[in-house]
Structure 1
Amino acid sequence: MDGWTVGLIVMFAVGLAVIVFGALSDRRKNRRAVSEMLSPPPRTIPRLPADAARPRYVSALQARRVTEPRPALNDDQQRRLAQQLKAADTVHVRIGFASDAFVTDEPTARAVLDHPRILVCAEPIMAIRELIGVLEHMITDRTPLVVVAPMMAPEVLDTLEVNHLQRAVDVVAILSRDPVPTDVIVQATGATLISRVDLQTGYLSDHELGRCARWVSDRRSSYIVGSLSGRTDEDHQP
């Protein structure tokens, strides 16, 4: 075999090896890049021992998976609830919950909260950090919470839904731009109308939250049982 033929074969083999190496290297780099993009970012957790297990990330699907369904009201409780809704001092407002995720009694598709605190916001809630303080307080005290606001950013509503579904806190979001039912809720529960500035600064005391014996909501209406007044939003109509 001629020398130039041998050299050509060697050059071809070397070139092929370089191409294969480059392809494999690019594939590894691509896999590493994809892995970095899909993995959670590295975070230093203060005061976490080096040998402690790292917190696990929970997907949106996992967060919305109900592991401990709330028990449905029994027949006696249903009869008692029906009596309460018809009571003269029960206040009715024509706004329901913002999402079916807040349902606590599946057979009736209602949210029923006993002895909740009622937070009534004068302005839209645009970041979950505005609610962190009151949520932590309710979770610690295991007290249900009703949040009334003109509107919420989607991530705020999502966070409330997940906390409710995971039973961290029983919560219901009520959204209405109409000031009439909001005014009724304030009067019926004794709540203070809270500004967004007060929420952002965390300046919110427990006595500024409204109270009632029971709050009941479905998709269209809400009922305030054991309210401070017996007025409904119909009483406010001109």
Structure 2
Amino acid sequence: MDWDDAYANAAHISGAESYPPRWEADASAFRAQAHGRLGLAYGTGARERFDLFLPASEAAGLVVFIHGGYWMKFDHSYWSHLATGPLARGWAVAMPSYDLCPDLRISGITAQIARAIEAAANEVTGPIAVTGHSAGGHLSARMLERGLLSDDAAARLRKVVPISPLSDLRPLMRTSMNDTLHIDAAEAQQESPVFMTDRLNVPVTVWVGGDERPAFLDQANWLGEAWGCDVHIKPGRHHFDVIDALADKQSRLVDALVV
């Protein structure tokens, strides 16, 4: 099996090269008119920052969106426009960046995201919902490990929606990406959500596009099977456009997150 091809999204999406500049432009335009605070620190590192977008009235709660990029690419600035849907429903939205591999291992990124959620939770009262895409889907699922979040943040966590998550890291050890990720057997066991048994009792909905690579459909279904949670397969959506629904306040994806 060609493991690199199995996890190569862009090679199988028409016009894939147009998506990152489009995301960046849409996010920039959104920030220019949004109400919130940018570049809030959750640590001392240059990438340990998050943007916090606020609704017009008191927030009903906090949504945290964790970006993807195989833990190797992007930062929070590409995704600001995806706050549109939860904001329109009255929820604040935090979007953190994190250090990238190989500068930090995946386990270190997991710890960073936990700190980011705790810092954002100090800014907004009420329930917390966590979502993320691809590698961010992995990180969102990891937040359910008991003891990872502070007691306060864990008590407020009401919903987790991993989008196209990487739930079993072992296949990635067979890809050339592992030259950068440096996943070994111990980290794959520790960091794969499918192996998490001591989890917070929080509702989970796994979301994935029907037109995604078979490997990503497998990853979503593996998590659903391991956790006994719902898996929603969105027809006609691939890995790059499955997240678009976050910008639509009436979408089922936003419903799953904030209702």
Q: Shorter chain as normaliser: what TM range?
A: under 0.3
Q: Which of structures 1 and 2 has the larger relative contact order (alpha carbons within 8 angstroms, sep 6+)?
A: 1
Q: Which has the larger radius of gyration?
A: 1
- TM-score normalised over the length of structure 2: 0.21
- TM-score normalised over the length of structure 1: 0.22
